[in-house]
Each structure stands twice: as structure tokens, then as C-alpha cells.
């Protein structure tokens, strides 16, 4: 699909304004599309703009923050909007322009209400609008379904070990072999209730700087207890932390200290 003069005039007026003039505060803190109950407005912090074949549309920013205000039975595109020069990594939704039809879709909308009944409740929404030559763009609801999202859970052991004595003496090298094992153990105890784009990462966590780098093999960084540590540092802890992040709703779901070493020097 090609950009057509006149056909996109109304859309261009609404969504091509430079981001420098946008009032970004209304989207601050929003990780996903949220219905602002007080303003009766669907706040969309980011939607990727595509044509009917899934390609970018020349002459338009690749993504926008938008507002759709409920007016009667329609959701009307209203100011302010914000254009993005690049698609943010956190962008979840899409706005497809196919001919003179605009279709907005999301799988991760939520309500801004903090009441218990809305906790972990997400909405899949598809809206459609005919783009007029001028005048407002009103979206009608094609589908709107809610679901109760159940977060992934972990059932397993947090391994508590001693660093400085066997089998982890002062000279022991800590590297990716231990991280890989922590990752394996996390997966064994992880239950995912809703399929999605869940990213699992594990790595060393050493906030007290108890370790020093002694070498690397490719991307595998190797650590050892600092030689300057003494018995005065006993009971200080470093660990391997594993996290599970759900990219479908932009949320860190789990942080598990899979393995903890407590300094135990003679």
C-alpha cells in the first residue's frame, strides 16, 4: 500500500505531529495500553504503524503514542499524540493502515483501576476505523475479550553454599557453567500458566564487590573471591540471580536468588 494524498490527511494531522510538541506526561509510567477511567480514554503508550502487508509506511513515524477517547459508542482519536523516531523495544501494539481502514490491536490492555477484581486482568482488543478525508477518526470495537492472567511461579530450592572452603575454596573459579546450571534448575521448577514471550536470564549478583574478574573465554567471564577478603568479610553474600520477564505485557515476573554463597574464610 502506498501513501495517498488526501486519504491520509486526517490521520496525518493526528499522528504525525513532532514528539517535541507532545504532552508525554499522560503516558508516564504506562508499560502497556491502559484505560484511564477518569478521562474515559484509552491511553496507548506505543503502537507500531504498518501497512496492510505489515511493512512500514513511508513518510510516517514508525510508532506513535495515542489517545482514544470514548465518545458515545465510538473511540475517537484525540490529542495529544507522540511520534517516535525509532520503535521502542517496549512497543506492544499495532496500528495497521490498509487502504482507508485503520485497525488497532492489542493483547495487553488493562484498566487503571486498582480494585482487587481488576488485578492481573488483561484485555485483547481490536478496533477498526474508516479514515475520512477530514474530520475525526472514530474507532468501532471489533473484538474485546478479557482474561485473568496467572503469573508464572517457581517451586524449587534456593541453594545456600559456603565460599572459601571446600568444595568452593578461595581459588575456585565461578563462571558460566554455574550460571547455566542455575538456569537449568530454574526451568525445572518454573510453571508458566499463559504461553507467551517469556525471557529467562541468569547471572551473578555481587552488590558487595566480593568477586574479581580473573579471565574470560569468549563471552564467559570468570570470577574468583578477591584475595583481599578476610574472615572479617564472613557472612557476606554473593549469588546467581535468575529472572523471568514477560515481553507480552512488559513485566518482570520473577526474581529468584537461585544460588547463594556466603563468605566463610578461616
Q: Domain map of the chain by residue range?
A: 9-148, 153-263
Cell of 8: 491520509
Residue 204: predicted pLDDT: 96
Residue 179: predicted pLDDT: 96
Residue 117: predicted pLDDT: 65
Judge whether 151 and 76 are in contact, CB under 8 Å: no
Residue 115: predicted pLDDT: 60
Cell of 168: 568452593
Residue 20: predicted pLDDT: 38
Residue 216: predicted pLDDT: 86
219 burial type by CB count under 10 A (0-12 exposed, 13-18 middle, 19+ buried): exposed
Judge whether 84 and 65 are in contact, CB under 8 Å: yes
Residue 120: predicted pLDDT: 86
CA distance 176 to 220: 6
pLDDT, mean of each 10-residue run, the chain (266 residues): 39 48 72 92 96 90 95 92 92 94 95 74 95 89 92 90 94 95 93 88 96 89 95 97 94 93 95
Residue 5: predicted pLDDT: 36
Residue of 251, 254, 252 lying closest to 108 (CA atoms): 251
Residue 134: predicted pLDDT: 81
Amino acid at each position: 500500500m502506498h501513501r495517498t494524498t488526501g486519504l491520509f490527511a486526517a490521520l496525518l494531522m493526528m499522528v504525525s505531529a513532532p514528539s517535541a510538541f507532545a504532552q508525554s506526561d499522560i503516558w508516564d509510567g504506562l508499560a502497556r495500553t491502559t484505560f484511564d477511567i477518569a478521562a474515559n480514554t484509552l491511553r496507548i503508550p506505543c503502537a507500531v504503524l504498518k501497512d496492510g502487508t505489515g511493512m512500514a509506511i513511508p513518510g510516517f513515524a514508525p510508532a506513535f503514542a495515542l489517545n482514544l477517547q470514548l465518545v458515545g459508542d465510538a473511540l475517537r482519536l484525540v490529542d495529544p499524540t507522540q511520534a517516535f523516531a525509532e520503535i521502542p523495544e517496549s512497543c506492544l501494539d499495532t496500528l495497521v493502515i490498509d487502504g482507508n481502514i485503520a485497525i488497532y490491536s492489542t493483547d495487553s490492555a488493562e484498566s487503571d483501576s486498582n480494585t482487587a477484581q481488576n488485578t492481573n486482568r488483561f484485555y485483547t482488543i481490536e478496533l477498526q476505523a474508516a479514515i475520512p478525508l477530514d474530520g475525526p477518526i472514530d474507532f468501532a470495537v471489533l473484538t474485546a475479550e478479557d482474561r485473568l492472567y496467572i503469573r508464572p511461579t517457581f517451586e524449587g530450592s534456593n541453594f545456600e553454599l559456603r565460599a572459601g572452603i571446600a568444595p568452593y575454596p578461595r581459588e575456585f573459579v565461578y563462571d558460566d557453567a554455574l550460571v547455566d546450571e542455575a538456569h537449568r534448575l530454574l526451568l525445572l521448577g518454573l510453571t508458566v500458566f499463559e504461553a507467551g514471550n517469556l525471557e529467562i536470564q541468569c547471572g551473578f549478583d555481587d552488590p558487595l564487590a566480593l568477586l574479581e574478574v580473573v579471565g574470560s573465554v569468549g563471552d564467559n567471564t570468570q570470577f574468583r573471591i578477591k584475595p583481599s577478603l578476610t574472615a572479617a568479610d564472613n557472612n557476606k553474600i554473593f549469588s546467581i540471580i535468575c529472572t523471568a520477564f514477560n515481553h507480552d505485557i512488559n513485566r518482570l515476573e520473577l526474581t529468584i536468588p537461585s544460588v547463594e554463597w556466603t563468605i566463610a574464610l578461616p
